[in-house]
Amino acid sequence: MADVTPFIVKKVKKAAHGHHGGAWKIAYADFVTAMMAFFLLLWLISMTTPEQKKGIADYFAPPNVSETTSGAGGVLGGTAYNEDQAKMSGSPTDAKTFTAPDSRKKSGPRVAVNGGQQGVTGDANDLFKTSKVDIDSTYNQDFQSAAASIRQAWQSMPDVTKVQDNLIVEENKNGLNIKILDRQGQPMFAEGSKYPFEITRKAIAAIAPILQQFPNEVMIAGFTASGSKYSDPAYGAWELSMDRADVVRQILGEFGLGNEHVHSVIGRAESEPLLPDDPYLASNSRVEITLLYKPPPVPPNMSP
């Protein structure tokens, strides 16, 4: 017989690995959630404008948090802009406390009032300057919040965002200045007309409730660009600038600004161009709404 080679089959039994648990799944889920939140944050940052970012920052960290729980005093007199803005009730007091001078002394500081501007002579000059700086600082904080509120109101209106380059909000020496100006190819008023376009009317209406929150008065001034031609010899730049300013006043009043808040309505015509080097540019034609600073109070026991 032929030799038969036997086949040997080896069976290897593998021991089962120990149970690792599911903790890694939770960690992985947390990682994926964090990454999704991170990319969502990057997307939101890239989609928002600088004005929106400033408004969000002001909402969560308002610069004008009240130092007291009282609603008395301050620019807003204890009120808020509206329900969705950063300004909260209560505001810093208007000025620092003064110590009354001793009436037994031979002379004290005197305050001179000329045209709403106040000056101090004598040893209290430095004290008054310090007080005025404090007052301006308080108004700057409140007016900056108001400017952010106005920009947010415009940003929330898709139609108005189309003319955002025609709308400028800034502070100047008189107060918070809001410019509604023409651009080349994009006017805010019909040519030669005192009536604004509907989109301009919406932009004006949006700021009326915000201005109404302040006790400060509002000055409205109209301006025109040089070189405009008028078909009626009796109706020119002075009449047009005055009429446009008055129409803006009427729109503000229609949407909430009381007449008691209006300081003056002025027509400036071509006398004060926004761009003096080129008074013929369309941007010189504008209407300015200025929320005026209130004059600082006279210190106690100081005669005017």
Q: For 91-112, write each residue's pLDDT tens digit.
A: 333 433 333 444 344 444 333 3
Please check the confidence at residue 15 and state whether its pLDDT lies above 50: yes
Model confidence pLDDT, tens digit, residues 25-50: 888 999 999 999 999 888 888 887 77
Q: Report pLDDT for 267.
A: 96
Where does the pLDDT of residue 211 fall: very low under 50, low under 70, confident under 90, or very high at 90 and above?
A: very high
Q: Report pLDDT for 145.
A: 86
Mean per-residue pLDDT for 118-144?
A: 49
Q: Report pLDDT for 262.
A: 94
Q: Report pLDDT for 167.
A: 94
Q: Report pLDDT for 79.
A: 46
Cα separation, 213 vs 74, in Å, equals 12
pTM: 0.54
Query: Which tops the pLDDT comparison, 178 or 139?
Result: 178
Q: Where are the beta strands (DSSP E) in the chain?
A: 110-114, 117-121, 167-171, 175-181, 218-223, 262-269, 286-292
Mean per-residue pLDDT for 274-281?
A: 92
Q: Report pLDDT for 41.
A: 86
Please check the confidence at residue 130 and state whether its pLDDT lies above 60: no
Where does the pLDDT of residue 252 fall: very low under 50, low under 70, confident under 90, or very high at 90 and above?
A: very high
CATH class of the 63-95+109-292 domain in this structure: alpha beta
Mean per-residue pLDDT for 224-237?
A: 89
Mean per-residue pLDDT for 250-279?
A: 93
Cα separation, 115 vs 91, in Å, equals 28
> Contacts for 152-159 with beta carbons within 8 Å, 24 or more apart?
152/51, 152/52, 152/55, 152/85, 153/206, 153/207, 153/210, 154/203, 154/206, 155/49, 155/51, 155/52, 155/55, 157/202, 157/203, 157/206, 159/199, 159/202
Please check the confidence at residue 124 and state whether its pLDDT lies above 80: no
Where does the pLDDT of residue 264 fall: very low under 50, low under 70, confident under 90, or very high at 90 and above?
A: very high
Mean per-residue pLDDT for 65-72?
A: 44
Q: Which of 108-112, 190-194, 219-223, 292-296 has the lowest mean pLDDT?
A: 108-112
Please check the confidence at residue 57 and state whether its pLDDT lies above 60: yes
- For the chain, give the mean pLDDT: 75
What are the φ and ψ backbone dihedral angles of 107, each rounded to 5 degrees? -150, 155
Q: Report pLDDT for 296.
A: 52
First to last CA, the chain: 141
Where does the pLDDT of residue 202 fall: very low under 50, low under 70, confident under 90, or very high at 90 and above?
A: very high
